[in-house]
Chain A
């Protein structure tokens, strides 16, 4: 009996030591105060394990690239940047854990998180802590709603859905529209909802709406068949390129050739392995970034990225790369030093980012409103001869 109590007490002591053992400072070995050298501490959060790992990995690599460039160039306002990226497995609870880890490390500015669901949970935390947050790719409105400290670099869901519907209506790309979307994905269903609302307002006729979920996204023949039977002459496909390549292949096998219209998730379609890129000919997509673009900044980014990380960067990576430079510009405009409190940095960046007019990889003349949404023109491009061509 006594032994039992004793062993329980021992266990309790062990658990307690687990909690205490990772006391302050152990999360980051290079603490601001002890090293004597002041640095900007930028944190990043995203999935680098699990199903969405490729997106988080791209963001992580791109931020690293930008940080290295800026550090080699003398840093921000003369101070170097320290960068720490934590994994969240695209899970809200893990993202909050990752955020807390970064807070212990001494993070001053957060560039993340990558996925919308996780980002909504973290932005609630940053809002309470008054920490500036800039997300490269979380496009849901729930991220920025009621949070004055959260800003997006990517288009928001309403923006994409509305712009797509307007573009289709204005250019008369199709009259009968079929939609296939991922109902288990906040990004896909968010774009779909806004597209459908705007399409109705514009008088577009939606003849078929078919959904799939993350658990069965390898076969789309049922959805395609339904769209085909409904005589849809344009398919709106608001999801990512991996599933996109399957949809295109299966539609081709069925002999079904409507106009295909994807959103920014389709960027990367031409790089899918074992995918016949001829099938992508004539596909419309909205993208802020094309890896094979000819302008100088994109070329240098892509070549550096490929050299360092082996692989072509996608738009998430480009958004994240831009993000670091946007933070740099805002900090320089406010003439801040890293010894400022997080709250001061946050306030300065909130007003600073709204005065910025930034030219980056993912858009010219990007500006932000007080809701945290970016304003940049989503570019409709069409795939022609294995490359992106502006659709205008």
Chain B
């Protein structure tokens, strides 16, 4: 009896670690499979092109999952944090192209992009997380839109005299003839060096999974979970609510920023449109999180991968592509969350069959 209890306890505390190791193992195996396929030339160009975006969006989904699943706050602006990370890092990379060697420049760009995404998350969270209810969702939604619209009217150029800013148009920059315009309003940033590779993307994804996992199981993470489950109880115990919420939200925004940096360095034309960084994308990321399971990081990665690949897989259906895609999306949501289907799955699903077999034995 005692032994059993002990065993239960140890497995209980190790369960999450095992899960983490399993998740990382799966990512590494997938990475190895993809690399081998690529090396033997049996990977299609489409798949090769999708590897980095899949990792980038997985990262953002992991970031958002930290916010939705553990902080218990709904954020509708994670595409905005991704946007901040993307544009700031792309700006840096383009501005210092030729002055700093490739590798250190990318590392600095990554750090800067992550830092600023985190900073914006921190600044927004200061007033909002002190409030209760759905305010965070409303403010982050607005934040995403504001960032998108500001970038669409932002003009930045560099010439011999220094950096020029304008919110009006390109001519207002008053550039010398030798200067280059780096952010050109709605035309965004073109000509970012392509430095995101699949290896870097996978490494960052693994780091993000480890960081979030350790965070969630740390002292701070337990406090965050306590606040999520019962704020009043947590307050009476003496937990500084705002501090813990701020830490979790900033980390969540910073991880989204990493995704943005990866995305920006994988494409040479970076524009802030509704589809790339607007609320459409924020909702899409929320869909990855909800479909993958709230609070389940590996689920987010799997859902992001599936939902990015799905519309590309359906290209063969031509005009019916988007129609089928939305139907599949609804079907997946129902399969994962509808109570009657959950009940049916409990009775007839894989787990039930295994259980029955055991009972027979």
A-side interface residues toward B, CB under 8 Å? 1, 3-5, 7-9, 11-12, 15-16, 18-20, 22-24, 26-27, 48-50, 86-87, 89-93, 96-101, 103-104, 116-121, 124, 140, 142, 145-146, 182-186, 188-190, 192-193, 196-197, 200, 209, 211, 213-215
Contact B269 A142 (CB under 8 A): yes
Is B306's beta carbon under 8 Å from chain A?
yes
Q: In the bound complex, what is the Cα–Cα distance between A193 and B157 (angstroms)?
A: 15
B268 and A120 contact, CB distance less than 8 A: yes
- Distance (Å) between the CB of B340 and the closest chain A CB? 22
Nearest CB on B from A227, distance (A): 16
Q: Are B30 and A16 in contact (CB under 8 A)?
A: yes
In the bound complex, CA of A127 to CA of B140 (Å) = 39
Quote the shortest CB–CB distance from B154 to chain A (angstroms): 10
* Given contact pairs A87-B321, A92-B270, A100 touches B44 in the complex (Cβ within 8 A): yes
Extra contacts, 9 of them, besides A19-B47, A120-B269, A211-B153 (Cβ < 8 A), are: A7-B350, A90-B275, A103-B45, A117-B271, A121-B268, A185-B186, A186-B187, A188-B186, A193-B171
Known: A93-B53, A196-B171, A213-B152. A101 touches B186 (CB 8 A): no
Which chain A residues lie closer than 8 Å to B312 at the CB level? 97, 101
CB under 8 Å from chain A, chain B span 16-44: 18-19, 22-23, 26, 29-30, 33-34, 37, 42-44
Q: What CA separation (Å) do A93 and B273 show in the bound complex?
A: 12
B315 at the interface (CB under 8 A from A): yes
Known: A16-B30, A22-B47, A27-B46. A4 touches B22 (CB 8 A): yes
Query: Would B169 and A3 count as touching, CB distance under 8 A?
Result: no
| SS of B interface (majority) | helix
Which residues of chain B have a CB within 8 Å of any CB of chain A? 11, 15, 18-19, 22-23, 26, 29-30, 33-34, 37, 42-50, 53, 149, 152-153, 168-171, 185-188, 190-191, 194, 263, 267-271, 273-276, 298, 302, 305-306, 309, 312-313, 315-316, 319, 321-322, 350-351, 354
Question: B107 → chain A, closest Cβ, in Å?
Answer: 23
Closest A residue to B34 by beta carbon equals A19
CB-CB < 8 A to B298: which residues of A? 8
Which residues of chain B come closer than 8 Å to A26, judged between CB atoms? 316
**Residues of chain A with a CB closer than 8 A to B50's CB:** 97, 100
Set A9, A24, A89, A182: member contacting B26, Cβ < 8 A: A9
Q: How far is the CA of A194 from the CA of B68 in the complex (A)?
A: 46
29 contacts between A and B (CB under 8 A): A1-B11, A3-B351, A8-B22, A12-B29, A15-B305, A18-B313, A19-B34, A19-B37, A19-B43, A19-B47, A24-B44, A27-B315, A49-B321, A90-B275, A91-B275, A91-B276, A93-B267, A97-B49, A99-B49, A100-B46, A100-B49, A104-B44, A142-B191, A145-B191, A189-B185, A189-B187, A193-B169, A196-B171, A209-B168
Asked whether, in the complex, the Cβ of A120 is within 8 Å of the Cβ of B190, the reply is: yes
Chain A residues in 8 Å Cβ range of B15: 1
Q: Which residues of B contact A215 (CB under 8 A)?
A: 149, 274
B171 touches A117 (CB 8 A): no
Given contacts A4-B19, A120-B269, A193-B171, contact A15 B49 (CB under 8 A): no
Chain B hits for A140, CB < 8 A: 187
Residue of B nearest to A15 (CB): B305
Cα A188 to Cα B152 with chains together (Å): 13
Query: A119 vs B190: C-alpha distance in the bound complex, in angstroms?
Result: 11
Task: Decide if A16 touches B33 in the complex (CB within 8 Å).
Answer: yes
* B153 A117 Cβ-Cβ under 8 A: no
C-alpha spacing A196/B191, complex, angstroms: 25
Are B269 and A12 interface neighbours, CB within 8 A? Answer: no
CA distance A19 to B169 in the complex (A): 44
Task: Decide: B319 and A48 in contact? CB cutoff 8 A.
Answer: yes
**Closest Cβ neighbor of B168 among chain A residues:** A209
Question: Roughly how many angstroms separate A117 CA and B186 CA in the complex, as a whole number?
Answer: 9
Looking at the complex, which one of B19, B34, B315 makes contact with A86 (CB distance below 8 Å)? Answer: B315
Establish whether residues A116 and B48, one from each chain, have CB atoms under 8 Å apart when the complex forms: no
A8 contacts B23, C-beta separation under 8 Å: yes
Chain B hits for A209, CB < 8 A: 168-169
Which residues on B sit within 8 Å (CB–CB) of A22?
Answer: 44, 46-47, 313
Whole-angstrom CA separation of A146 from B269 in the bound complex: 14
